[in-house]
Structures are given as C-alpha cells and as structure tokens.
C-alpha cells in the first residue's frame, strides 16, 4: 500500500512537470511589461518641452483619460503610428501627452512640423531618465491611463489600427 502511494506520487510528479513544459511551450517567451496593467503611476515629474514648467500628476488628473506616448524624431516606427495619434486628437475624452525621448529639440520640432502635432502637451526626456519611472523600455511605447492614473493598457511598439479602435472604445464607454 505504502509502495503504491510512493509510486503514484512519483508518477504524478513527473506528469505534472511534463504538463507544465507542455503548456509553457505555447507561451510567448518574449517578455513585455503588459502585466503591469492595473498598477498606478506615481511620482510623475516631467519637464515641459518648450516652457520652463513641470508636468505632474495634477496635470493628468484633470482629464478622464490620458495617453502617454514616447516618441522621437530618430525613431522610424514612430512615423507609422503618427497618423493614429492625429486621429486621436479629434477625440474629446482623451488627453495626449507626448514625451520626446533622447532627441534634439530642432529635430523634434521639424518632425512635428512635417507630420503634424497630435499632442495636447509635450514633455521632454533628454537623457531618457523619465522613461524608467514610467516603465518604458523601448520606443515607441504608449500607456493609456484613466483619471486615477491607473494603467489601462500598454502599447509596446507602434500604435496600430486595432490599438486605435481599442482606445476609442475604451474612452467612450
């Protein structure tokens, strides 16, 4: 009897391991930070792009929804998502905060002149230090947050048609 228990438990143990391996196979092994959805952003303290001003949590709490978008003039995929940002500008319920990442001011301005300026507010992050505070690890990356600064969704890589639709439905619920 005792032997049987030991044998069954050893078999079950290995069965469990193989099962975990099997499920693990179908999981994506590339990491992203989407599991941070539901966390609250804190200690926001960004420099305004052109004025000698600070952008803080208070500025974001005013709006029902915010999209924080990290972009740069040297970033190719940023150009791909730009049209969607421009379309979001027409939505009322959302405030677009663009954070200019590790960029030269002139290039950034040229970029906005050329492709249009979708942002309600622009901050600058000259050395990229603020990106860490917002959990950004590569650009373009955008975070959709609500009034309480809770992360609703993270968009890693350029915003697509699908993401655009998602944002529009989310903010008009």
Partner 1 sequence: MKIIIIIFYFFLSFNNLNAESTVIDSGKIFKNLRCLICQGQSVADSNSDFAQTIKLVVRDQIKEGKTEKEIYRFLVEKYGEWIVYKPPLNKGNSILWLLPYLIFLIGGIMIFILLKKRPNG
Partner 2 sequence: MISNFGNTILFISAFLSSFIIYISFKNLKEDKTVLKKNIYQLCLLQSTLIILSFFILISAFITSDFSLITVYQNSHTLKPLLYKISGAWGNHEGSLLLWLIILTVFSFLFLVYNNNHPKNYRLYTLITQNFLILGFLFFLIFNSNPFSLVSPIPKEGLGLNPILQDPALAIHPPLLYIGFVGSSIYFSAAISSMLSNYQGKLFAQSIKNWVLISWSFQTIGILAGSIWAYYELGWGGFWFWDPVENASLLPWFAMTALFHSLKVLEKRNLFYFWVIILCIITFILSVTGTFLVRSGILNSVHTFANDPSRGLYILLFLSLLIFGSIFILFKKFQLNDYRINPNSKETFILVNNWFMIFYLITVLLGTIYPIFTEVLTNHKVSVGPPFYNIVIIPIVVIFLFLMSIGPNVKWIKNKFENYNLLIKILLASVLINFSIVFLFKSYSLISNFIIISSIFLIISTTLDFYKCIKKKKFNFPRLTSHLAFGFMVFFIGINHNFSFEKDFNLRLGDKEKIENYTVEFKNLNLEEFKNYKAIIGKFIIENYDKKLNLTLSPEIRIYENPNTLTYEASIRSGLLKDYYITMSNIDRSEYYNVKFQKKPFMMWIWISVIFISIGGFIRLFENEKKNY
If the CB atoms of residues 21 and 51 are measured against partner 2, the closer one turns out to be 21
127 interface partner picked from partner 2, partner 1, none, CB below 5 to 8 A per type = partner 1
Binding mask of the shown chain, residues 111 to 150, with x at each position contacting partner 1 by CB under 8 A? ----------------xxx-xxxxx-xx------------
- How many chain residues interact with partner 2 (CB under 8 A)? 19
- CA atoms of 145 and 152, how far apart (whole Å): 5
What is the chain's alpha carbon radius of gyration, rounded to the nearest angstrom?
22
What phi and psi, each to the nearest 5 degrees, are found at residue 98?
A: -95, 130
How far is CA 82 from its chain centroid?
15
Count Cβ neighbours within 10 Å for each residue of 83-94 and write b for 16 or more, e otherwise: ebbeebeebeeb
Task: Please list every residue from 45 through 74 that binds partner 2, using CB under 8 A.
Answer: 74
- How many chain residues interact with partner 1 (CB under 8 A)? 16
Binding mask of the shown chain, residues 107 to 146, with x at each position contacting partner 2 by CB under 8 A? ----------------------------------------
Single residue of 2, 31, 38, 173 touching partner 1 by CB under 8 A = 31
131 interface partner picked from partner 2, partner 1, none, CB below 5 to 8 A per type = partner 1
- CA atoms of 64 and 54, how far apart (whole Å): 20
The DSSP bridge partners found for residue 40 are 150
33 binds partner 1 (CB under 8 A): yes
Closest CA to 41 of 58, 26, 29, 27: 58
The residues of the shown chain that bind partner 2, judged by CB under 8 A, are 7, 10-11, 14, 18, 20-27, 29-31, 35, 74, 102
């Amino acid at each position: 009897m005792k032997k049987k228990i030991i044998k069954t438990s050893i078999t079950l143990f290995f069965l469990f391991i193989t099962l975990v391996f099997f499920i693990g196979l179908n999981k994506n092994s590339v990491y992203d930070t989407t599991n941070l959805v539901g966390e609250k952003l804190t200690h926001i303290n960004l420099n305004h792009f052109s004025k000698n001003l600070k952008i803080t949590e208070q500025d974001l709490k005013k709006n029902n929804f915010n999209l924080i978008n990290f972009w740069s003039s040297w970033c190719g995929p940023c150009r791909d998502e730009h049209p969607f940002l421009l379309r979001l500008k027409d939505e009322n319920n959302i405030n677009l905060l663009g954070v200019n990442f590790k960029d030269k001011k002139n290039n950034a301005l040229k970029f906005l002149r050329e492709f249009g300026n979708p942002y309600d507010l622009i901050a600058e992050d000259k050395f990229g230090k603020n990106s860490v505070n917002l959990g950004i690890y590569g650009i373009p990356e955008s975070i959709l947050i609500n009034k309480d600064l809770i992360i609703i969704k993270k968009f890693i890589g350029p915003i697509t048609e699908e993401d655009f639709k998602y944002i529009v439905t989310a903010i008009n619920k």
